[in-house]
Amino acid sequence: MTTLDADLRSIQEARDLALACRAAQREFATASQEQVDRVCAAMAEVVFRDAARLGRLAHEETGYGVPTHKQVKVEFASKAVWESIRDIPTVGVLRRDPQQRVVEIGWPVGVVVALTPSTNPSSTAIFKVLVSVKARNGIVVAPHPAAKECTYEAVRMMAEAGERAGMPRGLVSCLREVTLPGSQELMRHHATSLILATGGTPMVRAAHSTGKPAIGVGPGNVPVYVDRSADVAAAARAIVNSKAFDCSVICATEQSVVADRPIAAELRAAMRREGAHWVSATDKRALERVLFTPSGAMDPTAVGRTPAQLATLAGISVPASARILVADLEAVGRTEPLSGEKLTTVLGFYSSDGWRAGCDRCIELLHYGGDGHSLVIHATDEDVILAFGIEKPAFRILVNTWGTLGAIGATTGVMPSMTLAPGGVGGSVVSDNITVTHLLNVKRVAYPVREPPPAAYEPAPGVVAGGVDRPDDQVERIVQRVLNQLGGPR
C-alpha cells in the first residue's frame, strides 16, 4: 500500500465514522439518565476487568513505561473516573434556582473528536469515552499512530459493551487507519462539534487551528519544591516513586527538584536510598544528547524508558538498582536542556536558599514549558504552602504527594481526569481537570425577577410618544378598572 492509499483510506474512514457517530448521537440525545448511566457503567466495567491485558498491550506496542503501572492507569480511568461522574446529572433538569427563577437543563455538545497520546493511550481513550457518553455525546477517537492498536482495542471493548447495554451503534468508535490527513479530516469534518486534544504541542496546535471548538492541554514542566519544613524522608520517597511511575510519561510528573538549601544534602541522601542515581557531568551531557533532538524537542526513542534503557542509549553505566537518574542543574533554558520537560526517568536537581528563592526558580521552570500546568510542594509550613498556591502560574498545586497521581486525582481530591488543562497562560480555554461538565451544554429557562427600568420605555428620538405601555400606566388602568367595577368615582 502506498502512502497516498493509506491517507485516502484514513480520510474515508474518518468521514464514515463522523457521519455514523452524528446519526447515533442524535438518537442517543433522547436517552434517559438511567439509560445513559447503564451504558457508561457497562463500558467502565468491561475495561476495568481487563485492565492488566490492556496495560500490557499499551506497553508492548509503544515500548513506553511499565505494564503494571499502565494497568493502574486503566483501572483509574475506568473505575475512579466513572465513580467521580456517576452521580452528576446530565439529562433533563439539572438544577432549579427558586430565588433567581432559573431552571438549568442538560444538553449534549454533539460529536466529540478525541486525540489521544502514545504515552497514556488506553487510559486516556477510556477516560474520554466515559466523560463524553455520560453527557450524551458521540465520540470518535483518533489515536496516536504509535499506539493505534492498543487504543483501538480499548475503544472496541467499550463500544461493544455499550451497544449490548442499549447504546446506538456508531456512538463510540476509533480510527483504525491512522494517518495525519485522516485525523485532520476528522477534526475538520462538518459533523464534528468539539475536539478534545491530549498530546504533544503540535497536536494541540493542530486542534486549535481547525476552526472547531477545542479543549487542548499543553506540556507540564512540573517543578517540585522541598521546603526546610518538609518531612524530608517522605518527600524523597514521594518524588522518586512518582518519577519512576510508568517511567514518567504522565505530564504531571516531577521534572526538576528545587531543594531548600538547609535540607538539600539530607534530601539527596534520602533520594539515593529510594533508588535515585546521580549522574556525573559527563554522563549528564550524554543524556542530553539522547533525550533531545537538535531542535530541542524530546526524542521519542528516549520517552518512557528505564534508567538501564537510557544508559544503553547514552553509552553510560548506571547501577541495576537505579530507579531514576538525577542531574545537578544550575540554569533554566536552552543552555540547560535537562531543565525542560523530560517524559522519562531523568530528573533535574537545584538548590535554592529559602522559599522565596525556591519560588522564583519554580516560576522560571514553569515559564520554560509548563505554564499553567502543575507544581508540587513538600512542606508543613502552611504560610509557605499558601504563598506557593497564590504566586505560582500553575493550576494544580499538589502538597506532600506524588505529582503523577496527585494531579490526575488518584491521591488528591481534585476531579479524576486524564486531561489536565493549563488555563489561558498555557494555551487552553479552561484551567480544570477536564470532566463531563466540560462536555455538557446547559440550557437555562429564565423567568422574570424584576421589571425593566422606566427609561427602557422611552421612545427613540423623533418617535411620537403614544402606545407605550409603562408600568405606571398599567397600575393606573388596573385602579380605574377596579373603581368601575365597584361603581365608584371616575
Whichever domain contains 166, its CATH number is: 3.40.605.10
Q: What amino acid positions are annotated as catalytic residues?
A: 251
Residue 199 pLDDT: 73
* Spatial contact of 102 and 445, defined as CB atoms under 8 Å apart: yes
Does 329 lie in the same domain as 255?
yes
Does 227 lie in the same domain as 201?
no
Does 176 lie in the same domain as 81?
yes
Does 265 lie in the same domain as 202?
no
Give the Å distances, CA to CA, from 270 to 165, 232, 264, 277, 347.
51, 7, 10, 11, 15
CA dihedral 439, 411, 386, 216 (to 10 degrees): -30
pLDDT grade for 427, boundaries at 50, 70 and 90: confident
Coil, strand or helix at 196: strand
Cβ-Cβ contacts under 8 Å for 468 (sequence gap 6 or more): 457, 459
* Spatial contact of 435 and 415, defined as CB atoms under 8 Å apart: yes
Quote the CA–CA distance of 281 and 276 in Å, as a whole number: 16
Quote the CA–CA distance of 441 and 173 in Å, as a whole number: 22
Q: Tally Cβ neighbours within 10 Å of residue 4.
A: 10
Which of 201, 227, 232, 197 lies closest to 213 in space, CA to CA? 197
Does 231 lie in the same domain as 356?
yes
Does 232 lie in the same domain as 355?
yes
Does 307 lie in the same domain as 206?
no
Instruction: List helix spans (H) across 397-441.
Output: 403-407
Which of the 8 DSSP states describes residue 335? Answer: T
Does 241 lie in the same domain as 212?
no
Condensed to tens digits (0 to 9), the pLDDT of residues 24-58 reads 999 999 999 999 999 999 999 999 999 999 999 99
Residue 485 lies in a domain: no
Which of the 8 DSSP states describes residue 410? Answer: S
Condensed to tens digits (0 to 9), the pLDDT of residues 348-397 reads 999 999 999 999 999 999 999 899 999 999 999 999 999 999 988 999 99
Sheet containing strand 102-108, edge to edge, reads 93-97, 102-108, 440-446
pLDDT grade for 127, boundaries at 50, 70 and 90: very high
* Spatial contact of 342 and 248, defined as CB atoms under 8 Å apart: yes
pLDDT grade for 253, boundaries at 50, 70 and 90: very high
Does 394 lie in the same domain as 303?
yes
Average pLDDT, the chain: 93
Averaged pLDDT, 119-137: 97
Place of cell 475538520: 188
Domain extent at residue 391:
222-414
Residue 196 lies in a domain: yes
Whether 165 has a pLDDT exceeding 90, the answer reads yes
Quote the CA–CA distance of 42 and 336 in Å, as a whole number: 49
Q: Tally Cβ neighbours within 10 Å of residue 144.
A: 22
Quote the CA–CA distance of 422 and 372 in Å, as a whole number: 4
Residue 473 pLDDT: 64
Q: Tally Cβ neighbours within 10 Å of residue 164.
A: 12
Quote the CA–CA distance of 427 and 219 in Å, as a whole number: 10
Look at the chain and report how many structural domains it folds into. 2
Residue 467 lies in a domain: no
Which of 387, 396, 392, 393 lies closest to 425 in space, CA to CA? 393
Quote the CA–CA distance of 168 and 22 in Å, as a whole number: 11
Which of the 8 DSSP states describes residue 245? Answer: G
User: What percent of the chain has pLDDT above 90?
Assistant: 84
Residue 27 lies in a domain: yes
CA dihedral 175, 177, 182, 186 (to 10 degrees): -10
Which of 342, 117, 81 lies closest to 207 in space, CA to CA? 117
Quote the CA–CA distance of 193 and 210 in Å, as a whole number: 11
Whether 217 has a pLDDT exceeding 90, the answer reads no
Does 278 lie in the same domain as 197?
no
Residue 3 pLDDT: 66
Residue 190 pLDDT: 96
Which of 354, 328, 331, 343 lies closest to 225 in space, CA to CA? 354
CA 316 to chain centre: 35
Please give the residue that has the higher pLDDT: either 217 or 238: 238
β-strand pairing of 172-174 with 138-142:
parallel
Residue 466 lies in a domain: no
Condensed to tens digits (0 to 9), the pLDDT of residues 75-91 reads 999 999 999 999 999 99
Residue 264 lies in a domain: yes
Residue 426 lies in a domain: no
Does 166 lie in the same domain as 262?
no
Does 157 lie in the same domain as 279?
no
User: Strand (E) positions, 249-368?
Assistant: 254-260, 276-278, 324-328, 346-352
Q: For the whole model, what pTM was predicted? A: 0.90
Residue 193 lies in a domain: yes
Whether 315 has a pLDDT exceeding 70, the answer reads yes
**In the numeric block, which cell numbers belong to residue 198?**
491530549
> Which range is least confidently modeled, 16-20, 82-86, 235-239, 451-455?
451-455
| Element housing 194 (H / E) | strand 194-197
Whichever domain contains 274, its CATH number is: 3.40.309.10
Whether 469 has a pLDDT exceeding 60, the answer reads no
